[in-house]
Amino acid sequence: MSEINTDDLLSQMRVMAAQAQGGTAAEQTEDTDFGGLLKQSIDQVNEIQRQSRSAKEEFQAGTSDMSLAEVMLASEKAGIAFQSVLQVRNKVIQAYQDVINMPL
């Protein structure tokens, strides 16, 4: 069984988070915690879903300049974003359960 270097993993996560936000890892502050990143991700997914719902409603009402393809893409983007947050949640719960079940 291989060991996981938590420092390397944490630095990789910070680099990926910085890239996702359009910055560099050096620009990220050290006080960014997992809870804050998770809340930020959930807020972003919520905004994507809100935009998708708005696009659907406007398209149905005929008040939007968006095509059906654009509305469907927005809907799929919202679905994929939700599924990714759901998978992160599942992994966090599994990790928590693994830690709780560890023998002392």
Q: What is the model's pLDDT at position 58?
A: 92
Q: What is the number of other CB atoms lying within 10 angstroms of the CB of residue 52? A: 21
Tens of pLDDT, residue by residue over 43-62, are: 999 999 999 999 999 999 98
Specify the pTM.
Answer: 0.62
Q: For the chain, what are the domain ranges?
A: 1-29, 33-100
For tokens 């928590």, what's the residue? 96
Contacts 24+ apart (CB under 8 A), 61-64: none
Report phi then psi at 53, rounded to 5: -60, -40
6-15, 38-47, 85-94: the lowest-pLDDT one: 6-15
CA distances from 38 to 13, 34, 88, 91 (A): 12, 6, 9, 13
Nearest by Cα to 38 from 90, 99, 88: 88
pLDDT band of residue 34 (cuts 50, 70, 90) is confident
What CA dihedral angle connects 59, 64, 70 and 76, to 10 degrees?
-50
